[in-house]
Amino acid sequence: MKRIAIDMDEVIADALPKHVTRFNQLHNDNIKIEDLNGIKLEDLRPEFQVEMKNILLEPTFFQDLAVMEDSQEVIKELNEHFEIFITTAAMEFPTSFTAKYEWLKEHFSFLNDMNFVFCGDKGILNADYLIDDNVHHFKRFSGKGILFSSPQNSNETGYDRVENWQEVRNYFIN
């Protein structure tokens, strides 16, 4: 059975709106998601890179993120045909482990929690496919990288791209 590794943030968990909102609240700014077309939040306001990272280091930041539309339904279906692993580079934000784990147990309880992979370098993953919004994770990954669209990666090319979870279904099932 083929394996699909699926990133968490900005693929199944919608972290960007909360990150932008928290930054705007803390710095009396009014950045909009549309402002991030082809650019990362920290590149838009480079003078606040440390503050932006600190938001993500808050232990509860990841606990109440919205679930990406259709991700639960499609992953349930994929789970009937593939081995599914949820993979997150949690070592970038080590304080996130508990919140991320609890979020996965709440929203993806149909998956075996032994298939939740908290790592740093996704090059260690032994999977046929990696669905991720960050092309950096494809560099050392030996399988096929599939780019999940996000405002920040709109200028990236050279990878198969999926815009949403219905396209993920079509990519693998149809």
Active site residues: 7, 9
Q: What domains does the chain contain, in order, with CATH numbers? A: 3-14+63-172 (3.40.50.1000), 16-60 (no CATH)
Picking from 91, 93, 81, the residue whose alpha carbon sits closest to that of residue 55 is: 93
Strand partners, 144: 129
The model's pTM: 0.95
The C-alpha atoms of residue 93 and residue 87 are separated, in whole angstroms, by 14
Per-residue pLDDT of the chain (174 residues; tens, 9 = 90+): 999 999 999 999 999 999 999 999 999 999 999 999 999 999 999 999 999 999 999 999 999 999 999 999 999 999 999 999 999 988 888 999 999 999 999 999 999 999 999 998 999 999 999 999 999 999 999 999 999 999 999 999 999 999 999 999 999 997
